[in-house]
Amino acid sequence: MPDDRPEPSSPACLAHEASDAYMGYATRDEIAAFLNELLEAERAGTGVALKSADAAAGTPFADLLRDVHRDEARWCAMLLKQLKALGVPASPRIGAFQEKALAIEGLPERIAFLNRGQGWVVRKLRETMPKVRDDALHRDLAEMLHSHEANIARASEALKAAPGGPTNGR
């Protein structure tokens, strides 16, 4: 007598063999494009923070901007390392954000714009991190997220405390 029971199409024990896309994760190409997009943005942030720190010498913003510059450079290095691990060439470009930010003359206004750029990175990380299957990359991106959140909070406080800031007469 023939066995009329349907045969399962994919045993659960083979789920680990499914492709990233099938399992709801970003593909290698999607991860590479995302990392390069972040790299371009971080390069722009590095340039803005460095040039703004020079302009902020002797102000309460100088230390903040130097710290943001160091963080941005650190994330550029991490992104380059991750792209290399994927075997993908790194974009040589700098995001358009740098030119836009440096066109802003007032330091508090430029820092507020820089903060919006940091917020963009936070949103992109939050959107993409659930789709990252690689544990080491996920850890690096989580650390980058927390660093950007801390920089946003610190810059917001510095802007509030600045003469003419939102809590000082604006």
Residue 7: inside a domain:
no
Hey, what are 35's tokens?
């990392």
Look at the chain and report how many structural domains it folds into.
1
| Whole-number Å distance between alpha carbons of 25 and 117 | 26
Asked, for residue 61, whether it belongs to a domain, the answer is yes
Residue 169: inside a domain: no
10 Å Cβ neighbour count for 132?
21
Structure confidence at residue 64 (pLDDT)? 97
Q: Is residue 141 part of a domain?
A: yes
Burial of 46-69, coded b for 16+ CB within 10 Å and e otherwise, reads bbbbbbbbeebeeeebbebbbbbb
Domain-located, residue 35 = yes
Both ends of the chain: CA-CA distance in Å?
86
pTM score of the predicted model:
0.84
Predicted pLDDT at 16: 63
**Which CATH number does the domain housing residue 110 bear?**
1.20.1260.10
Residue 105 included in any domain: yes
Residue 41 lies in a domain: yes
Per-residue pLDDT of the chain (170 residues; tens, 9 = 90+): 566 776 655 555 565 666 566 567 999 999 999 999 999 999 999 999 999 999 999 998 999 999 999 999 999 999 999 999 999 999 999 999 999 999 999 999 999 999 999 999 999 999 999 999 999 999 999 999 999 999 999 999 999 998 765 544 33
Q: What span, in angstroms and rounded, lies between the C-alpha atoms of 16 and 113?
A: 43
- Domain range for 106 is 23-161
Would residue 132 count as lying in a domain? yes
Structural tokens at position 24: 């709801």
